[in-house]
Amino acid sequence: MSAPAYHSLKKTDPEIHAAVTGEMQRQVEGVELIPSENYISRAVMETMGTVFNNKYSEGYPGRRYYGGQTYADAVESLAIARAKKLFNCGHANVQPHAGAPANVGTYFALLEPGDTVLGMDLSHGGHLTHGHPVTYLTKIFNFVRYKMKDIESGEIDYDEMREVARREKPKMILAGFSAYPRELNYARMKEIAEEAGAYAVADMAHIAGLIAGRAVRSPFEDGFDVILSTTHKSLRGPRGGLILCREAALGAKIDKSVFPGFQGGPIMQMVAAKAVAFKEALRPEFADYAKQIVANAKCMAEAFMQSGARLITNGTDNHLLLIDCVESWGITGREAEELFDRIGVTLNKNVIADDPRKPMDPSGVRLGTPAVTTRGMKEAEMKKLAAFMLEAVARRGDPAGLDALHAEVKAFCKKYPVPGIGEN
Ligand SMILES: Cc1ncc(COP(=O)(O)O)c(C=O)c1O
């Protein structure tokens, strides 16, 4: 497969065309280890650029505020049916424009202003949308926290969670994270939610692909009420959001909240692309892919730990690793991000649990395996990638050494074409 040419774009807007081809080159020649990123298939990419962009479809299939919905209804119905099958649940809303709108849509569907949400502490892995003070959400809802009991094992303090739930009487208990490498005990959380009379909601944005591929447990298996997600991370779809309900009965509340409560018209080309991605994720190969993501992350974690690096929770159960760079290598997370960028390895700086440093220059980096696994890399390649990064640490302050390493990384990447781009 050759890279998309974008002839019309080139003619109309050479500057944007140059940026698009530059970005394609960057993706092909570099190693993508940001755990929330992935490479979509050519089919998903093509669908995102279709004429559905031209269509307004406010409402839901069979109940729209505009005419001409034959094909829009068909794609949204397919997306809904496939999402329900993939996640084995009673209701799916495929319209959230991204993960944050899926969070907001869910909160407003299930909560009243002033209600309390019990979510994961942000420095212990929770996401901004779980009640960071910089978000508007904290002006409306009251967020309280649970944490890890033990940073070495990553075990959550479920006894404390129960105490907080008894004291604070949350209306929602929120599982989910963007920087936590272990599996949560959903059964225990559901029990605590039941006792508190709270909804059990999981934000599985990061691990949706792992759940779809049965590489980790689904919160629905333990009776969670709602799962919300992005579709563009491990699930390998277009940028977008998704809200699922275990029971169909809760669906009407969610639908009303997404539209007209919060959003306007759905971005129908993205809904169509979600349908394509769900079809891809329903194939048996996707389960192999999901399991390989986890195997790769475990292997890379082992390689770093063997070198003496300190990993938060001493390993991983999912797709991501969190490394304490200050303790491991005597550099900050920002310095590590810049150093690895220099050799064509992209990851992101990240706070570690109870980090004494600030988010723009924290102690850690976060990295993950969904994208490199999409390129067909396995355990041997994970060891090689860890070796490249450790070598970069050893050669920091040696520009020529880093240049040579960058050339090696580029040559290595050439062997693993990016699906969707192909040879560039
Ligand atoms: C757990 C979690 N929830 C929500 C979001 C927000 O998703 P988006 O960036 O698509 O709005 C993210 C994104 O990083 C996330 O990790």
Q: CA-CA distance, 39 to 209, in Å (whole number)?
A: 13
Domain extents in the chain: 46-281, 288-414
Q: Where are the beta strands (DSSP E) in 106-156?
A: 116-120, 142-146, 148-150, 155-156
Q: Is pLDDT at 311 greater than 80 in this prediction?
A: yes
Percent of the chain surpassing pLDDT 70? 100
Confidence of residue 65 (pLDDT cuts 50, 70, 90): very high
Report pLDDT for 1. 76
Confidence of residue 123 (pLDDT cuts 50, 70, 90): confident
Q: Is pLDDT at 283 greater than 90 in this prediction?
A: yes
The answer to whether the CB of 360 falls within 8 A of the CB of 334 is: yes
Taking the centre of ligand 1 as the mean of its atom positions, its distance from the CA of residue 317, in whole angstroms, is 20
Of these residues, 162, 188, 239, 357, which one is catalytic?
239
- Mean confidence (pLDDT) of the chain: 97
User: Tens digits of per-residue pLDDT, 2-51?
Assistant: 889 899 999 999 999 999 999 999 999 999 999 999 999 999 999 999 99
Q: Flag whether the pTM goes above 0.85.
A: yes
Q: Which ligand 1 atom sits closest to the C-alpha of 241?
A: 10
Do 288-414 and 46-281 have the same topology in CATH? Answer: no
Taking the centre of ligand 1 as the mean of its atom positions, its distance from the CA of residue 12, in whole angstroms, is 33
Least Cα distance to 244 among 109, 105, 104, 84 occurs for: 84
Q: Is 253 a catalytic residue?
A: no
CATH number of 46-281: 3.40.640.10
Q: Is pLDDT at 424 greater than 60 in this prediction?
A: no
User: Tens digits of per-residue pLDDT, 72-101?
Assistant: 999 999 999 999 999 999 999 999 999 999
Domain 288-414 class in CATH: alpha beta
Which protein residue has the closest C-alpha to ligand 1 atom 13? 99
The answer to whether the CB of 94 falls within 8 A of the CB of 242 is: yes
Taking the centre of ligand 1 as the mean of its atom positions, its distance from the CA of residue 401, in whole angstroms, is 37
